[in-house]
Structure 1
Amino acid sequence: MSTVQTGAPRREPGAPAPDGPGDAGAATARRVARYSGFRPEVQGLRFVAVLLVVVYHVFLGRVSGGVDVFLLISAFFLTLSFVRKLEAGRPLDLGRYWLHVFKRLLPLAVLTVLATLVLVAAVYPGSDVGRWRAEALASVFYVQNWALALSAVDYYAADHSSASPFQHFWSLSVQGQVFLLWPLAFAAAWLLTRRGSLRPVPVLVALFGTVFLASLAWSVHSTATQQEFAYFDTRTRLWEFALGSLLALALPHLRPPRTARVALGWLGLLSMVSVGVLVDVQGAFPGWIALWPLLSGAAIIVAGRSGSPFGLDRVLASRPLVRLGDSAYALYLIHWPVLITYLVLRDRPMAGTWSGTVIILVSLVLAVLATRLVEDPLKGWAWPERNRRRLAGVVVLCLALVAAPVLAWQHVEDRRAGRIQAEAARNNPGAAALEPGFAYRGDPDAPTLPLPEDLPRQPASLGEACPEDLALPEELRRFCHESVSHEAPERTLLVLGNSHLQHWLPALRPLAQDERWRVLTWIQPGCFYAAAEDQPGSESCRAWFEGAERMIGTTDPDLVVVQSTFTDTEGEFLRPGLEQRVRELTGRGMPVVGIRDTPRFPEAPAGCAVANGADDPRCTFTHPMVGTPDPALPLARELPLYSTLDLTDLICPAGQCPPVIGNVYVYWDDDHLSRVYSQSTAPVFGERFREALATDGPGP
């Protein structure tokens, strides 16, 4: 990016005249002065905003809205800095700016990430370690918000047992992305004003006003339709930064009287503190309701220096709060891993009054020490500032300090996993251990599969994307996959249901390969092939259910596989509407196989086994459905084309549901089979599937 080049005697067309005698120089000086000067009350506000985040996290387990104020302040200061350059006709030098800002931000972030990784290796559950390594990389490369956004809309992500110690990096990632994007807006303003009569400030007002309106509109829409994703989406947060920039541009022209400044300050603080109590911030943001904390923070900034002994600025601009404001960044970085590590060690959902107070004090002390011993010395380090190459070297070194150990750690784990997998047939028989006369001849010390760090990655693959030969509307193709393909298939099977059918796909694939069946899937986790009123409130479930008939008509399957019953932790039942669906399909001459649902447990048996050992009786569960006949059997006896498949004894043999069978974790969460265990049931699954077709009705 080219930058403004100034210097006597030449100047760029349209650039303001250099300071000096005369009206032009005086006018330039006045414009620059409007956006100059340190604002101690805003620095104090920065600390208050972060302290709100910390207090709400520790004591309430909620989100406060303080992060939004923190983002507003970041854009406020960033805008003041660049407007001073534009008004004075100084070079923007974007390359140097980017290197300088990340040279300033990365050292403390890297220190926090590395310290957290040490804690992860030492005390965190093994089932989560692999995910934490990936999140450490996402955090230091400022993409953690996108990693969390993708996880937030992942049906299975809700089953993770502990909060990520890197989760708070989402807002820093958004901030880092804005630090890359926002200077481009200032460069655009320079381009638009360098050849004409336009001034930078009106151009910037137009640019940031457009960003504000477009991003806010998208934020409102996205929050209403996919709030979990929207919460971490950079695009839904840009308007918050734009508001901070517009505030910085407008502030020099706002001159409220002293009484109004005093009122604005205290009312803004009261409003900012109360929003997290009165609003479910994490469940409602970042739509229009985020205006509440942002306008509260803006009111405090507009109040500014009131000059009144009763003004809020007397508190915010006090020396202690300003100094603590210098440590706000470090406090935000440090408090979250300290809190989460404490909760992991104590196995508690929240901190108590005394422990929470200690956590805040420890975090504050560590933040002050980190600022004084790390951030301040590196901020004043002159050597990197001498040229861009040195700045780039520092930035690359910071990134490498995290990337190198994380990738090395992952490489070691991958090699270990490869060795374990090579011996899996002997050491990890899974469901084969239930066969009569089975004798284990593997290594008694062999690790259980899947490895703890691989447990979160166990959802069964759906296979390839929807094949082109199926004439489906584009908006429906996301539900369709080809799980087993053949160039000239003998028959076509359609698997129609939710994740409790998906987890049997590894067991079905070998049978389909042997029989040369093409397997198509129409699966949406959390939805039910029953009745329209049976669907959860999401638009995805309604679209999936309404599109099921289109899928059936398009594929004209030789066999439809559905889930015959449904379970919760209390029991098993036939969902209303399923019988009608089955009768409709068999009435059209389509054979249907109903697979009995698997038990759901109050917690993840594998997680319990990882933490306490597979032999711990707390990790072996039972369920009311165990030992009872399949409730769908009467319907199978009535309808010749409907047959049932009951595999409960492979999960809960002898009336008990152990976490491990044949040195394999049966479930990876509280209600889904691990991919490894499902694969191990393939021989029995195939045998019983064939028997069901032969016994209860005509098969393909």
Structure 2
Amino acid sequence: QHLWSMSMQGQVFLAWPLLMTCCVLLAGALHVRPRRIVAGAFAVLAAASLWWLLASAPDDPTVYFDTRARLWEFALGSAIAAAAPWIRPRGIAARVLSWAGLVALVVYCVVPIGHYPGPMAAAPMLAVSAILLVEESPTPGSVQHLLSWRPLAALGDMSYCVYLIHWPVVVLFLAQSERAQLDAGSGGALIAASLALAWLMTRLVDRPVQRFPKGGGHVVLKKTALVLVALAVGLLPLAVADKAFDNEREAQRAAARNNDADDPEHPGAGAVAEQGWQDGSAGPIPGPLAIHENWVPDLPGPCPPGQRELFGRMKTLCSSMPAPDGDGPAVVVVGDSHAEQTIIPTAELFAERHGLGVAQYLMGGCSFGPPEYYEGDCRTRNEVVMTLLDEDPPDLVMLDTTVSAPDFPSEGLRPGVAELVEHLTSLGITVVGFRDNPRSVQDLYECSDDATHGGCSFAQGDHLAPVDPAEQLLTIPGFHEIDPTDLYCSAGTCRTIIGNVHVYLDDNHISGSYARTMAPILVDRIESLLELKV
């Protein structure tokens, strides 16, 4: 937010001379005064940018930084400057307009009006224009006389340094003091500190740099040296910071990649039974630089022979973990990204314990079910997998059976899952279903800022049905249901940090790190249901 203004100025400083050059060339070709073309061109640009903002801009925070949404603010001022000789107020109207402009600016400084970027930004810009358009000597009683007061003029001289310094001063103070806002005392002190630092920067940096290239006969050489020094001063901290971020990112990746249920500092789901729900003895993993990479990786082997071609160009994750004896996959996992995050670590561990091969067929946003319940690539993926299972039935299929709703307890069965289970079990396949995890409209990782109290918490009853909807399928011979809800929620409350591990990586997916700590517990439950021994 702080650097955005400078980046926009940089774009305008590059674009405006080019646009004005085109206007001058066009004016010459049309034999008209350049000022008319310039005023018209910037007025059109302002109208086009404002129209895009109102009619086509995305309704999300990115628009705040979008050049297209901001050009009209610069173009409006440029159009007014070009048209100044024709619209400049005079006489009593000039004095009234300039005072009205100053009052409007003061109001906009103390009262939040409108949303930005938005059309209400035109009000303060027009207020400034009303002041600047007035050609009046600073006589007593005029705005020009007030703004010529020496302290205000001095503040104007160092205003850019004030802009550069005040925001970091405020933000760093709030972060260090762990406050959400300033009170009058601290706010006044920070304003005074910002003014003092800005004065020093103006005297020791800004003015000497402005004077530096002007003396002597080697102006180009001095300017070149100035640019090189500025680049070095600016890029060296960036390079150091970038290296530090890379090192920290790799450390966070390693911590998230190497954890499992045996990690004493980050037991994750293991803490539910062993240590309780809250343990802030170690920083939670994954860290913020590694969280968006915390997806469960594909199985280590390629897609089973002859199968990759069946999926064509569909975005299907097809991979396998061959059995030690070389047999085909006895365990198959099919589903969407929730199956990837929750089931794959469990399936891998189960297969390792029992010397089995495992294959996965996953597609984001595509549940596994009878093809007629789905459309497009999802339907095709399900058709291909159904054919594979019909032709060579595995011993075990693992899939998601329910789907939860964000911040709403309308959890239900996935489309067609009852018919699917009946068909698979009729082939002699044992089916293990998994209940879905809670989902939310907010990012469940971002809200987890308090590791000592399990991050943020929410009521289980607001996100999941009172009873697992898949329990009705337990009457089908060969079907078993796994409900991991007790690994997310306890006594009706769900946590986002458990055993020093972030449970979620976004608003609805279990983190890979937490899924790995769940795997031993879930494998034990599967073995118990299937009456298997290791």
Give the TM-score taking structure 1 as reference length.
0.55
> Which residue in the other structure is 1:362 paired with?
193
Contact 1:565 1:597 in 2 (8 A): yes
> Which residue in the other structure is 1:399 paired with?
234
- Out of 597, 603, 607, the residue aligned to residue 449 of structure 2 is 607
Q: CA deviation at 1:242?
A: 0.9
C-alpha distance after superposition, 1:413-456 (max 9, x if no partner)? 35655775786567466457469999xxxxxxx96563645365
> Which residue in the other structure is 2:403 paired with?
564
CA distance 1:352–1:423, shift in 2 (3 Å):
same
Q: CA deviation at 1:521?
A: 0.9
> Which residue in the other structure is 1:233 paired with?
66
CA distance in 2, matches of 1:270, 1:640: 79
> Which residue in the other structure is 1:303 paired with?
134
- Out of 231, 243, 247, the residue aligned to residue 76 of structure 2 is 243
User: Structure 1 stretch 636-645 or stretch 299-308: which is displaced more?
Assistant: 636-645
Contact 1:590 1:641 in 2 (8 A): no
1:264 aligns to 2:101 (yes or no): no
2:363 match: secondary structure: strand
Q: CA deviation at 1:653?
A: 7.0
CA distance in 2, matches of 1:271, 1:590: 72
Residue identity in the other structure for 1:394: V
> Which residue in the other structure is 1:649 paired with?
486
C-alpha distance after superposition, 1:225-273 (max 9, x if no partner)? 4242211101111111111211221113333122111221222233334
**Which of 1 and 2 has higher RCO (CA within 8 Å, sep 6+)?**
1
Residue identity in the other structure for 2:177: R
2:336 match: secondary structure: strand
Residue identity in the other structure for 1:333: L
Query: What's the RMSD between the two structures over aligned residues?
Result: 5.1
Contact 2:40 2:79 in 1 (8 A): no
CA distance 1:450–1:213, shift in 2 (3 Å):
same
1:573 aligns to 2:406 (yes or no): no
> Which residue in the other structure is 1:517 paired with?
360
Q: CA deviation at 1:574?
A: 2.2
CA distance 1:246–1:647, shift in 2 (3 Å):
same
CA distance 1:483–1:261, shift in 2 (3 Å):
farther
> Which residue in the other structure is 2:38 paired with?
204
CA distance 1:551–1:669, shift in 2 (3 Å):
closer
User: Structure 1 stretch 317-326 or stretch 504-513: which is displaced more?
Assistant: 504-513
Select the structure of larger CA radius of gyration. Answer: 2
1:595 aligns to 2:438 (yes or no): no
CA distance 1:689–1:550, shift in 2 (3 Å):
farther
Structure 1: which 5+ runs fail to align? 1-166, 439-445, 473-479, 524-546, 610-615, 696-700
> Which residue in the other structure is 1:219 paired with?
53
> Which residue in the other structure is 1:252 paired with?
85
> Which residue in the other structure is 1:106 paired with?
none
2:117 match: secondary structure: coil
Contact 2:468 2:483 in 1 (8 A): no
- Equivalent positions of 1:388-427 (< 5 A) are 389-413=224-248, 416=251, 424=259, 427=263
Contact 1:212 1:242 in 2 (8 A): yes
Q: CA deviation at 1:491?
A: 7.2
CA distance in 1, matches of 2:341, 2:139: 67
- Out of 461, 469, 473, the residue aligned to residue 632 of structure 1 is 469
C-alpha distance after superposition, 1:343-373 (max 9, x if no partner)? 2233222111222222222222222222222
CA distance 1:345–1:172, shift in 2 (3 Å):
same
CA distance 1:687–1:302, shift in 2 (3 Å):
farther
> Which residue in the other structure is 2:396 paired with?
none
Residue identity in the other structure for 1:286: P
Contact 1:573 1:631 in 2 (8 A): no
2:193 match: secondary structure: helix
CA distance 1:640–1:366, shift in 2 (3 Å):
farther
User: Structure 1 stretch 328-337 or stretch 588-597: which is displaced more?
Assistant: 588-597
CA distance in 2, matches of 1:349, 1:520: 42
- Out of 160, 170, 184, the residue aligned to residue 4 of structure 2 is 170
CA distance in 2, matches of 1:548, 1:328: 61
CA distance in 2, matches of 1:583, 1:415: 43
Contact 1:574 1:632 in 2 (8 A): no
Contact 1:566 1:597 in 2 (8 A): no
- Equivalent positions of 1:306-455 (< 5 A) are 309-382=140-213, 385-387=219-221, 389-413=224-248, 416=251, 424=259, 427=263, 430-431=267-268, 433=270, 448=283, 450=285, 452-454=287-289
Give the percent of matched residue pairs that are identical in Structure 1 and Structure 2.
Answer: 28
CA distance 1:295–1:551, shift in 2 (3 Å):
farther
Q: How many residues align?
A: 472
> Which residue in the other structure is 1:107 paired with?
none
CA distance in 1, matches of 2:192, 2:68: 35
Q: CA deviation at 1:504?
A: 3.7
Structure 2: which 5+ runs fail to align? 276-280, 299-307, 321-327, 352-356, 367-372, 387-398, 425-430
Which is helix-richer, 1 or 2? Answer: 1
> Which residue in the other structure is 1:155 paired with?
none
CA distance in 1, matches of 2:149, 2:272: 75
Contact 2:269 2:487 in 1 (8 A): no
C-alpha distance after superposition, 1:146-179 (max 9, x if no partner)? xxxxxxxxxxxxxxxxxxxxx3222222222222
C-alpha distance after superposition, 1:573-607 (max 9, x if no partner)? 225xx56x646984998889563333879997853
CA distance 1:229–1:420, shift in 2 (3 Å):
closer
> Which residue in the other structure is 1:26 paired with?
none
CA distance 1:434–1:348, shift in 2 (3 Å):
closer
- Out of 475, 493, 515, the residue aligned to residue 334 of structure 2 is 493
User: Structure 1 stretch 340-349 or stretch 324-333: which is displaced more?
Assistant: 340-349
Contact 1:264 1:300 in 2 (8 A): yes
- Equivalent positions of 1:8-23 (< 5 A) are none
2:59 match: secondary structure: helix
CA distance in 2, matches of 1:245, 1:622: 52
Contact 2:257 2:513 in 1 (8 A): no
Give the TM-score taking structure 2 as reference length.
0.69
